């Protein structure tokens, strides 16, 4: 992965802070920065969802630091931001169902934690603060493709928390001049994404079931669609968002997706074919808070960030299933 760099700037003298860097997307950003010789890479993560194994290869590197801390603590954020040039803020509690069960916990990490980080970043005068938002902010809007300027009402506490992030980022940019870039991710998948735990995402759940020879659940009729995006494309977006010098690039939010719509049924049958399985899925009731269809217009990210997703869904699935087989099983046939 990451065979070609997404940056042209010299990063050997810069310090990067990746919050949530032991998690799925964050650890992939860390791997990219370490591969390309970043001056210093710091990870701030409380390991509530992330895994130390995701950053294990870097723990003894002289340009790497791991801070085991919580973003809901303002002082921790302040210390982590000292001397940092660029921040990629990934730490948050993901999952719509979790936010419906424990909204206060989601708020503490996703809103209080976000504001602590944004404030610490402003005070430390970082060059740019890039943060993970979510396609969930489109809420009840049925318009397709999703265009950044047209959102609906949020459908869950998780969606509300990400929307609040965008509002605060705008307010801080306006009042304090901090350069912020929001990235609305659409269903990211790839290596380091967890298949375990009650809030696992659909692709790792399917892969886990297929590798174990079990029938996975599909919520509803499976004809709901998503814009599945390989994690390397999301890493590209983060790197380009840190460095884009296109006038007006900072201070905006961008859709980060591949720009293609896949139904859950199509996804499952593709994975089934890759693995060479003959197991059929088990259909069950549709889930509360889920949107029916999702597809992103990514032209704004292309124009302002130079974002150009290179890895197709199919290629991403091939890479991911190999990674899953190595880490969680050995039943992949190719």
Ligand X SMILES: NC(=O)c1ccc[n+]([C@@H]2O[C@H](COP(=O)([O-])OP(=O)(O)OC[C@H]3O[C@@H](n4cnc5c(N)ncnc54)[C@H](O)[C@@H]3O)[C@@H](O)[C@H]2O)c1
Our finding on whether 70 is near ligand X (CB under 6 A) is yes
Give dist(CA 215, CA 213) in Å, integer.
7
Q: Which of 17, 26, 85, 301 binds ligand X (CB under 6 A)?
A: 26
Our finding on whether 106 is near ligand X (CB under 6 A) is no
Note whether 81 and 17 are within 8 A (CB): yes
Our finding on whether 238 is near ligand X (CB under 6 A) is no
Q: Of 73, 111, 116, 109, which Cα lies nearest the Cα of 93?
A: 109
Our finding on whether 45 is near ligand X (CB under 6 A) is yes
Q: Of 92, 110, 253, 81, which Cα lies nearest the Cα of 173?
A: 253
- 131, 158, 172, 307: which is the annotated catalytic residue? 158
Our finding on whether 190 is near ligand X (CB under 6 A) is no
Q: Which of 129, 185, 243, 324 binds ligand X (CB under 6 A)?
A: 185
Give dist(CA 182, CA 244) in Å, integer.
13
Q: By C-beta, is 48 or 174 nearer to ligand X?
A: 48
Our finding on whether 166 is near ligand X (CB under 6 A) is no
**C-alpha 175: how far from its chain's center?**
27
Query: Which of the ranges 44-52, 171-179, 267-275, 324-332 carries the binding residues for ligand X, by CB under 6 A?
Result: 44-52
Q: Which of 90, 99, 156, 236 binds ligand X (CB under 6 A)?
A: 90
| Phi, psi dihedrals of residue 232, rounded to the nearest 5° | -60, -35
- The CA–CA distances, whole Å, from 279 to 46, 211, 275 equal 38, 11, 10
Query: Which of the ranges 21-29, 245-253, 263-271, 313-321 carries the binding residues for ligand X, by CB under 6 A?
Result: 21-29
Q: Look up 283 and say whether it is catalytic.
A: no
Q: Which of 17, 84, 126, 188 binds ligand X (CB under 6 A)?
A: 188
Give dist(CA 328, CA 334) in Å, integer.
15
Q: By C-beta, is 73 or 265 nearer to ligand X?
A: 73
Q: CB under 8 Å to 102, separation ≥6 — which residues?
A: none
Our finding on whether 134 is near ligand X (CB under 6 A) is yes
Q: By C-beta, is 19 or 277 nearer to ligand X?
A: 19
Element containing residue 175 per DSSP (H, E): helix 157-176
Note whether 279 and 213 are within 8 A (CB): yes
Q: By C-beta, is 65 or 70 nearer to ligand X?
A: 70
Our finding on whether 155 is near ligand X (CB under 6 A) is no
Query: Which of the ranges 141-149, 182-190, 243-251, 276-284 carries the binding residues for ligand X, by CB under 6 A?
Result: 182-190
Do the bridges between strand 229-230 and strand 282-284 make them parallel or antiparallel, or are there none, so unpaired? unpaired
Query: Which of the ranges 42-50, 173-181, 216-224, 291-299 carries the binding residues for ligand X, by CB under 6 A?
Result: 42-50
Q: CB under 8 Å to 275, separation ≥6 — which residues?
A: 210, 211, 321, 331, 332, 333
Q: What residues line the site for ligand X (CB under 6 A)? A: 20, 22-26, 45-50, 70-72, 90-94, 109, 113, 132, 134, 185, 187-188
């Amino acid at each position: 992965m990451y065979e070609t760099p997404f940056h042209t700037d010299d990063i050997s003298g810069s310090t990067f802070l990746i919050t949530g860097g032991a998690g799925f997307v964050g650890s992939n950003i860390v791997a990219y920065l370490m591969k390309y010789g970043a001056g210093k890479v710091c990870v701030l993560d409380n390991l509530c969802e992330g895994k130390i194994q995701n950053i294990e290869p870097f723990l003894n590197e002289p340009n790497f630091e791991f801070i085991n801390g919580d973003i809901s603590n303002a002082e921790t954020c302040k210390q982590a931001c000292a001397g940092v040039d660029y921040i990629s803020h990934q730490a948050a509690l993901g999952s719509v169902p979790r936010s419906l069960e424990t909204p206060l916990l989601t708020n503490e990490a996703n809103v209080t934690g976000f504001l602590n980080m944004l404030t610490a970043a402003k005070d430390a005068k970082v060059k740019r603060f890039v943060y993970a938002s979510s396609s969930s902010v489109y809420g009840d809007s049925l318009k397709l493709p999703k265009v950044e300027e047209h959102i609906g009402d949020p459908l869950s506490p998780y969606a509300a928390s990400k929307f609040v992030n965008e509002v605060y980022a705008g307010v801080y940019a306006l009042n304090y001049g901090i350069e912020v870039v929001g990235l609305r991710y659409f269903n990211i998948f790839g290596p380091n994404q967890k298949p375990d735990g009650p809030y696992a995402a659909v692709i790792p759940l399917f892969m886990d079931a297929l590798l174990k020879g079990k029938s996975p659940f599909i919520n509803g009729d499976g004809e709901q669609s998503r814009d599945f995006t390989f994690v390397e494309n999301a890493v590209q977006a983060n790197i380009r968002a840190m460095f884009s010098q296109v006038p007006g690039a900072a201070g905006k939010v961008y859709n980060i997706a591949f720009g293609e719509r896949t139904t859950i049924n199509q996804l499952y049958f593709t994975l089934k074919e890759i693995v060479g399985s003959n197991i059929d899925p088990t259909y069950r009731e549709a889930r509360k808070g889920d949107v029916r269809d999702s597809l992103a217009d990514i032209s704004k990210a292309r124009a302002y960030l130079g974002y150009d997703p290179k890895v197709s869904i199919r290629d991403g699935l091939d890479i991911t299933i190999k990674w899953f087989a190595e880490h969680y099983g050995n039943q992949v046939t190719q």
